[in-house]
Structure 1
């Protein structure tokens, strides 16, 4: 990593921690709402990132498998739940999309190499599903009678963060094997990945501070 990327990487980690702390601060006011699970999700992600960052100094474990088989699937399935089951009130859609995503592990196991940093097939499908949900959420917000108060809508900040980070970095992780051969392009896109990661977790933090807590 370049010096800038090292700084951005550390900053992304600590903004995840900041989001987790803010989520816990606001937990009491939302403990009777489904938003409490978003708080717990952010704490969970920070714990996972802490394991990914520090655990290798103390124990031997497969970091690639930890992220590809556990952390990343949990991230996608949580957002499918938040969008489909809660924002759109379509639980069947949530279960259907989650099943479709999980089934994609079968061809990935049979065809692709397990030692890859990112399982491109799973991540690509997971992001494409998430992109559809993001577009649906934008459509819902635009057509909402409360559109003028978008700055009080928690999903506005979450949706924007997901757009910048997950959707914005989709080409990077999908074509990582090819992009890696072009170091300049790789560094630009990896820097974008880190910067948008910082922005996303800041937006998640803002969603608690400025967003309505009554949902």
Structure 2
């Protein structure tokens, strides 16, 4: 069946190509949120939703995978941003680490389809995407601050941060993929991870 023609759209002014690129990425994010599967994404569907010809998408993204990677980068930037803001709002390093991880939990619960794409797509498992390293670095730094402040036992911060991220990512993936399970509140699970994996006791946290 032939694709429906794209809605007519006024061409971008000269130098506005980056604006269109951002619109394409934002539109693809919305579609991937609904699909929760990058292999089902169609560049023609993205073009139709934006209201441009498919050739205009190909000028910015030569194939579907390149667009999925751009979406993944945008998602990582959002996750880093909400985590940084949550951490910065807490003067205590322990509360800051907890707030950072809870911000990631909240983002995943708000965007379950995108979270699946981030962690289950073959595209996202590729090497050579430096933007993926930023969240790991931020978590390592947050864990190290807890250790430096004497709030957590001295240890290799990278190893501890990877253990913590693995536990949190696994928790979120299971909640998204098995929503009918009688899950406890996510904050309670996170607090157990912080105690058992980091050795951190956050005052007022759930037990």
Q: TM-score, normalised by structure 2?
A: 0.32
- By relative contact order (CA 8 Å, sep 6+), the higher-ranking structure is 1
Larger helix percent = 1
Highest CA radius of gyration, 1 or 2?
2
Q: TM-score, normalised by structure 1?
A: 0.31
